[in-house]
Amino acid sequence: MGLFSFGKKKKKPARSCDLEGSLLEFGEGYLLTSSQIIQSKRFWDNKMIEPETLAYSKAHFQKKDDLGTKMRTMIFQKYSAQDKPWLVGDGQVSQFEVDKEKAREYAKQWWESEYSFRPPAAGPADKNMDNEEFEKWRDYAIMKAGEEQLSKMK
Give the domain ranges of the chain: 14-153
Would you say residue 120 has pLDDT above 80? yes
pLDDT band of 10, cuts 50, 70, 90: low
Higher pLDDT, 11 or 140: 140
Would you say residue 25 has pLDDT above 80? yes
Tell me the whole-structure pTM to 2 decimals: 0.90
Query: Measuring CA to CA, which residue among 26, 31, 33, 22 is closest to residue 9?
Result: 26
pLDDT at site 1: 47
pLDDT at site 12: 80
What digits encode the pLDDT tens for the residues 42-60?
999 999 999 999 999 999 9
Three-state secondary structure call for residue 7: coil
* CA angle at 76 for the pair 150 and 118, rounded to the nearest 5°: 130
What digits encode the pLDDT tens for the residues 72-105?
999 999 999 999 999 999 999 999 999 999 999 9
* Residue 88 CA to its chain's centroid (Å): 7
